[in-house]
A and B are shown apart, each in its own frame.
Chain A
Amino acid sequence: MKLRFYLNNVEVEYEIQPDEYLAQVLRRNGVLSIRIGCDESACGSCTVLVDDKPVLSCGLLAAKVEGKHVTTVEGIQEEANRLADYFGDEGADQCSFCSVGFALIVHALRKEYKNPTDEQIKDYIVGNICRCTGYQSQFKAIKAYLKEAK
């Protein structure tokens, strides 16, 4: 079946199967920034935005984004680059397989909350697993980024 949607504000049309999930469809079409960590909607690595809301692209049927706006990290390069600076400052980037997911969830968090509390930040990023850093450095980096990127 045909699927039409906006990928980073550009209208695209992909041939998909009715039982495919968004993560696979995007990767097959060359969006290699999608990192599939678990493919069971449990790790957060494959996060994308659909109509500005963060979703797990491995858990969303591709057909569901018909007509919608999908944002991947390619659509927020500048923000990702800046967030990477903050991660670098805190040494919060190790294997970085989770980093793209963090870039997108933090982007959404910034849009949704003006002055998030520590608890709101943690509630927002809790679905993004990192096995390398121990989280504290990431949390500090995200907090500093949110403060300055307001």
Chain B
Amino acid sequence: MSKKFKVVNNKTHSVDGHAEMMGRAVYTQDYEAPGSLVLKMLRSPHPFARIKNIDTSKAESLNGVKCVLTYKNVPHVAFSRAGQGAPQPSPIDKFILDEYVRFVGDEVAVVAAINEKIAEDALKLIQVEYEVLEPVLDYKTAYKNKSVIHPESGISQAFEMGFRPKDNVAASYEMEVGNVEKELEKCDVVIEHTAETQAQAHAMLEPHCSNARLDEHNRLVIYTSTQTPFHIRRIMAQTLGMPLSQIRIVKPRVGGGFGGKQQFHCEMFVALVTLRTGLPSKMVYTREEVFASSYTRHPMCITMKIGADKDGTIKAIDCHALSDTGAYGEHALTVFMIVGSKVLPLYNKVNAVRFGGRVLYTNHVPAGAYRGYGAIQGNYVLESAIDILAEKLHMDPVELRKKNSMKEKETSPIFEIMGEGTKGTAMIMESCKLPYCIERGAELIDWKNKYPRKEVGPHKVRSVGCAIAMQGSGIPFSDMGSCAITLQDGGFYMVRCGATDIGQGSDTLISQIVAEELMTTVDKIVIYSSDTDLAPFDVGAYASSTTYISGNAAWKTAIKMRERLISEAATMLGVKENTVEFDGKKFVSGEKEISLFDLSNKLIYSAPQHQVAVTESYIGHVSPPPFMAAYAEVEVDTETGEYEVIEYVSVVDCGTTINPMLAKGQVEGGIVQGFGMASKEAVLYNKNGQMLSNSFLYYHVPTTKDIHKLTTEFADSYEPTGPFGAKSVGEIGIDTPPAVICNAIYNAVGVRINSLPITPEKILKAMKEKENR
């Protein structure tokens, strides 16, 4: 089914890897203007308090301090830092600085000084008198709690999303297809399973940072490590009351994002300081701030009720969830909806399905966008529940999945009902190789021989577990990407796009797409992204949209460029367009021919002397899901509960892999990040709401020694609506590890761990409890 390509689907080095390893100045901090003021933030020591008095006079009079910002001297305009499109699908519940502080580490005041030490000294001189308020530190008690986290006026929702701040509800959602209660009553077997997911830190290596200056036109220019330059510009202009034309956002290389850099961090503060002082400024989060004062993954508690017939036909799924959005509501609704919309359609043959619940405010670090975006939470609980159901039905869990899961040309009513905070879009699965993925993965892990377990030593057991997953490819009728290509003299192409390369390699794969269509090689493409002055609009890198949306935009633009070139060549040769053949290097019409090189030079320097430039945009009408099946083999020490993941097998249908090595990198990187969440990583707070895991020493991301063997394959698949048949691959990898490892541990030692991370301690405890029963 797949087609033969010359550039896409072929091994191509990333376009920026060499420069980065050789240490070139390419990241945000490398672009700080000389003499920049250093910004430091005074942060709240309380989980919830109101500032009664704040006296900055001593700090302001310290030699070297240029500016101190507090809620008293910045615009009091509510906005959302979420970095999403318009209308904003997250509650508009944050002020630049506020008289309330809502988590330990929340923003109180900003000092700008001539160096870091003076800025730090100035922070100590700011006197704050707090009225300490009763915090809400458990989201299960947040609903209608007497402590109201957002009592202030001026906050709002852009459309009805169940935002009820007086009840501590940031958003809520309910939907039902068919009649779930009635269907469940009719089922032979019904199981119910509840499990909890924890907050996870993005832990990208480059800390959040921004710097600002005024340019020769007195415009505000901000370099920032972001996934969403255009949203940053729009939201900043609205919040600061500036014309968009006065702001330029430049995104240099970004040292990892994973959703964490979709939102605002330092941008508003460097902007205000530079506007106020006229001086360049910079702000770099400390690692502690990255952990304790940015965003986490939404912790959730999810219940799945599944009904099936004796023969293993799943008839109904009922899913109820609670989500903790922390102090602010960034991505509260949209992450929540993904728990249903990108998880439940996996089992699309049900007669009824229901999904709903609430997203609650607490006095924890706010939750935000994070790779997986609700799907990983939902997947953990659903795919654990499927194994529970399989056991009850005395069925092999692989067989149960094969029987009930999504197949090509099928659909789910959920697609039409649930979208990005609003209604969704109906779609048929034009490409879905999930059955193959399940089959092939079982073969690779040797399921037949290894399921469920084998003793391998006096206190060592090996076992296997599995799960399937899906994701999306951008948000239909919302995510838009654009691309501009100009033919340059010398016969090469300048590609400018808004697609935001944050390390995932979008500059590389967009170069490949353009090169494929123009029948040339990647070295003839110069790509530049992303800069609001120089690149055309793109929503940015989120929602698994880059390959599909921005890739389609690039493809569309390249097609247009090819047509334009043929037309220019025809004019130049004095022949009809339909007689011209172009092979990427020369244009031939009968006896006549001209090389691209000559054409490009003549176009510029002789006649007709014009620049050939095309711009196109793409807006998705569907969001074709990538699918995958995952299997793991684990070895468990039955005396201590300690375990190692010996091998992790992933078989992925993401359509055509535009760059097979980068696609593999996305899957494996996602698997290991998901493995971290499944097995090791936990954001921990003390009883006063202070984050304990605020350092790499206390927050445990997997290391090279924790990874043994990753086996990753791609299904032969072609998505007709994707660029050269591609779908997304950025998020799908992260979804399965929690369920796969949970299921494998169950198969090994007979205990199911219903909260993440699945630690040796929890396993041993559960084993002891089971023995004592």
Contact = CB atoms under 8 A, between A and B. Distances in A.
Contacts of A135: 672, 702-704, 707
A144 interface: no
Nearest to B206: A97
Nearest to B663: A91
Nearest to A98: B205
A136 interface: yes
Contacts of A123: 705
A66 to B, nearest CB: 22
Interface in A18-70: 27, 32-33, 35-40, 42-43, 45
Best-buried of A80, A91, A92, A128 by chain B (most CB within 10 Å): A91
A36 B17 CA distance: 18
Contact of A39 (B13, B24, B253, B287): B287
B734 to A, nearest CB: 11
Interface residues of B, number: 57
Interface in B1-51: 11, 13-14, 16-18, 20-25, 27, 29-30
13 contacts: A35-B205, A36-B207, A38-B696, A73-B21, A84-B22, A88-B661, A94-B14, A131-B203, A131-B256, A131-B669, A133-B672, A135-B704, A136-B710
A122 to B, nearest CB: 5
A93 B255 contact: no
Contacts of A100: 20-23
Contacts of A84: 17-18, 20-22
A93 B206 contact: no
A9 interface: no
Contact of B704 (A74, A83, A132, A138): A138
B714 to A, nearest CB: 13
B504 interface: yes
Interface in A73-122: 73-74, 77, 80-81, 83-85, 87-100, 102-103, 122
B613 interface: no
B258 interface: yes
A135 B702 CA distance: 9
Interface of B: 11, 13-14, 16-18, 20-25, 27, 29-30, 202-207, 253-258, 286-287, 502-505, 659-665, 668-673, 695-697, 701-705, 707, 709-710
User: Max chain A CB contacts within 10 Å: which of B23, B29, B503, B703?
Assistant: B23
Which of B18, B22, B710: most chain A CB closer than 10 A?
A: B22
Nearest to A27: B29
Given A32-B30, A84-B17, A42 B203 contact: no
Given A93-B17, A126-B703, A134-B672, A72 B502 contact: no
Interface in A130-147: 130-139
Given A93-B14, A95-B206, A126-B704, A80 B503 contact: no
A56 to B, nearest CB: 12
- Which of A33, A39, A90, A139 has the largest count of B CB atoms less than 10 A from its CB? A33
B256 A102 contact: no
A2 B14 CA distance: 42
Given A32-B30, A35-B205, A42 B697 contact: yes
Nearest to B696: A42
Contacts of A72: 23
B27 A33 contact: no
A47 B694 CA distance: 22
Contact of A99 (B17, B254, B505): B17
A146 to B, nearest CB: 15
Nearest to B661: A91
Given A35-B27, A80-B22, A94 B505 contact: yes
Nearest to A77: B22
Contacts of B255: 35, 37, 95-97
B21 A102 contact: yes
A35 B502 CA distance: 16
B695 A42 contact: yes
Contacts of A96: 16-17, 20-21, 253, 255, 503
A16 interface: no
Given A99-B17, A131-B202, 19 more contacts: A32-B23, A36-B207, A37-B207, A42-B695, A80-B23, A88-B13, A88-B18, A91-B659, A94-B505, A94-B669, A95-B256, A96-B20, A96-B255, A102-B21, A103-B22, A131-B258, A131-B669, A135-B704, A137-B661
Contact of B701 (A40, A126, A131): A131
B501 to A, nearest CB: 9
Contacts of B205: 35, 37-38, 43, 45, 95, 97-98, 129-131
Give me the 10 closest cross-chain CB pairs, A-B, nearest first: A95-B503, A33-B23, A91-B661, A97-B255, A88-B13, A96-B20, A134-B668, A93-B17, A134-B672, A42-B696
B23 A132 contact: no
A74 B21 CA distance: 10
Nearest to B704: A135
A81 B13 contact: no
Contacts of A125: 704
A95 B665 contact: no
B18 A81 contact: yes
Contacts of A91: 14, 659-665
Nearest to B671: A134
A96 B638 CA distance: 39
Given A32-B30, A129-B696, A132-B503, A73 B22 contact: yes
A92 B696 CA distance: 22
B502 A122 contact: no
A73 B25 CA distance: 12
Contacts of B23: 32-33, 72-74, 80, 100, 103
Contacts of B659: 91
Contacts of A90: 661
Contacts of B705: 122-123, 126
Contact of B206 (A32, A35, A133): A35
Contact of A85 (B13, B16, B671): B13
Nearest to B674: A134
B703 A132 contact: no
A39 B206 CA distance: 11
Given A42-B695, A84-B17, A137-B665, A95 B204 contact: yes
Contacts of A43: 205, 696
B21 A83 contact: yes
Contacts of B709: 136
Contact of A87 (B17, B287, B502, B664): B17
A140 B203 CA distance: 24
Nearest to B665: A91
B18 A32 contact: no
Contacts of B16: 93, 96
A39 B205 CA distance: 11
A42 B673 CA distance: 18
B668 A136 contact: yes
Contacts of A36: 29, 207
A121 to B, nearest CB: 9
Contacts of A35: 27, 205-206, 255
Contacts of B502: 95
A122 B203 CA distance: 21
A37 to B, nearest CB: 4
A3 to B, nearest CB: 18
A94 B664 contact: no
Contacts of B505: 94
B669 A134 contact: yes
A103 B23 CA distance: 9
A139 B21 contact: no
A74 B19 CA distance: 11
Contacts of A137: 661, 664-665, 668
Nearest to B18: A84
A96 B502 CA distance: 10
